[in-house]
Structure 1
């Protein structure tokens, strides 16, 4: 059973991952993005919004899979963490499927955090010292960084509020 302090920490971690407190959320960053701008790579930047979204999806799934089980399949950095090729077009169905997986994996991680059987401070029996707390902070840090990049790309494409 989690203590009241642990429950409060879990609640704060979930807010940090989902909302961030000090910046726009991932959902706000991608809201109302014109479909024709998903794959545009602005001058002097290396990625499109689609590539950033896919990188977030792949990376977060890897973190959640790692956190959930020692039987996860390790990815190779950096090749496996980015889309294999730059797409010219991303269909609405492909876009929505990617966004849905990001949300589903985020919720799967929240379930791990909330589960009374999981000590968020205890190092996993696999890995090299990682814990649920460390992985929660990693997701929050990584996702907020790339969410900010999405906002920058949208600003350069003149599609930000």
Structure 2
């Protein structure tokens, strides 16, 4: 029988990967090309590129806390959004996607091995498990926006389908 911590850890991993409620995050990004990543529209506040960079910024910020480091808090949330609307080239875009997905793998590893109830040294009132849950919910929120942008631009579903498998 699983204890509460093991059960929470398994739930965290599922949430970080993306399951049941939406497509796994790793399936929603890799086929996005340079043009789609930086596509703008007057009715849209940001691009897919900007969303991925924003997600990665906060994911890394929270992972730094989880791993005992003290990242610098931005003076304003706008600092977590890139000014540029798209990547400079395909290689840098693929690196951005891989860096983000590697962060998810890092979060999963922490969810599977870290003492989730432990408080964070530099984040008063928060636990390792709480911050990993925050990563999962923040990524899920913005993944929905990426899917919506892809639908808006006629670039959905990705290869393999647009539903959880």
Question: What's the TM-score bracket when you normalise by the shorter of the two chains?
Answer: 0.7 to 0.9
1:141 aligns with 137
**Alpha-carbon deviation of 1:136?**
1.6
Residue pairs, 1:74-93, within 5 angstroms: 74-87=73-86, 89-93=87-91
In structure 2, what is the Cα distance between the partners aligned to 1:105 and 1:36?
24
2:151 aligns with 155
In structure 2, what is the Cα distance between the partners aligned to 1:20 and 1:126?
31
In structure 2, what is the Cα distance between the partners aligned to 1:14 and 1:77?
30
Residue pairs, 1:111-150, within 5 angstroms: 111-115=109-113, 118-150=114-146
- C-alpha distance after superposition, 1:64-113 (max 9, x if no partner): 012111433333331321113323x5422111111111122222222322
**Alpha-carbon deviation of 1:31?**
4.0
In structure 2, what is the Cα distance between the partners aligned to 1:108 and 1:31?
18
Contact 1:42 1:156 in 2 (8 A): no
Residue pairs, 1:11-160, within 5 angstroms: 11-87=10-86, 89-115=87-113, 118-160=114-156
**Which runs of no fewer than 5 residues in structure 2 stay unpaired?**
158-165
Instruction: Supply the RMSD in Å over aligned alpha carbons.
Output: 1.9
**Which runs of no fewer than 5 residues in structure 1 stay unpaired?**
none
SS for the counterpart of 1:129 is strand
Query: Which has the higher mean CA deviation after the structures are superposed, 104-113 or 12-21?
Result: 104-113
Q: Give the alignment's TM-score, normalised by structure 2.
A: 0.84
Query: Which has the higher mean CA deviation after the structures are superposed, 125-134 or 24-33?
Result: 24-33
Shift of the 34–114 alpha-carbon distance from structure 1 to 2, 3 Å rule, reads: closer
Contact 2:68 2:121 in 1 (8 A): no
